[in-house]
Amino acid sequence: MTKKFNQYLGKAGHLSVMSEFLILGWNVAIPEVDIGNDIFVVQDNNGTLRRVQVKTSKSTGRKLNFSAQFSISLKNLRNISNILVHYVFIAGHNDNWSKPIIIRQDYLLEHFENEAGSEANGNITFYFSYFDEKVKCSGQDFTKFVRNFTDFPKIEH
């Protein structure tokens, strides 16, 4: 894949994730400067703010499943503030999107500290394997984070 294709793929994944939040009734905004937050997701009636970092990848087909690789900054993952980042991992697979993996920063850090992913040069690479009903990374089960909109309940307008 070319760098140009990766830019298109990344923006397409970004917009797909934004539409998921909009369907749930949350407002979304793209910060003018990206310093670790791709999207701000806001509950308008009470000002609840969530920070979201979207990671997009193209899948690799396997015999019985597919896989996708994502890279994040270890420094950003460890930078815990009062408003946690929600990481959303989404893969392009056969001209469709995988179900998003939505995991809060502290949970992702905990999985990393329990040996999910691999670190090199200040980045962590997470290699997810997608099966029919399960998602795994480094032998750890991430299935409970698939379409995990727990922190984004549906808002009726």
Kindly report, residue by residue over 82-136, the tens digit of the pLDDT.
899 999 999 998 888 999 999 999 999 999 999 999 999 999 999 999 998 899 9
User: Which DSSP state fits 97?
Assistant: E
The closest of 88, 83, 93 to 108, measured between CA atoms, is: 88
Mean pLDDT over all residues of the chain? Answer: 93
CATH annotation of 3-145: 3.40.1350.10
Q: Rounded mean pLDDT of 21-50?
A: 92
Q: Which of 149, 151, 150, 157 minimizes the C-alpha distance to 19? A: 149
> For residue 17, is it left (φ>0), alpha (ψ between -120 and 50) or beta?
alpha
Query: CA–CA separation, 64 vs 84, rounded Å?
Result: 35
Local confidence band at 65 (pLDDT 50, 70, 90 cut-offs)? confident
Kindly compute the dihedral angle of the four CA atoms of residues 68, 74, 78, 80, in this order, to the nearest 10 degrees. Answer: -70
- Asked if residue 146 lies in contact with residue 101, where contact means CB atoms within 8 angstroms, the answer is yes
Tell whether the model's pLDDT for residue 1 goes beyond 70: no
Q: What is the pLDDT of residue 147?
A: 96
Would you state the pLDDT for residue 59? Answer: 87
Q: Of 53, 125, 63, 116, nearest to 83 (Cα)?
A: 53
Instruction: Check residue 137 and give its pLDDT.
Output: 96
Q: For residue 3, what pLDDT band results from cuts at 50, 70 and 90?
A: confident
Whether pLDDT at 71 is above 80? yes
pLDDT score of 105? 96
Mean pLDDT of 6-17: 92
Predicted confidence band of residue 33 (pLDDT cuts 50, 70, 90): confident
pLDDT confidence band for 61 (50 / 70 / 90): confident
CB contact at 8 A, 83 and 105: no
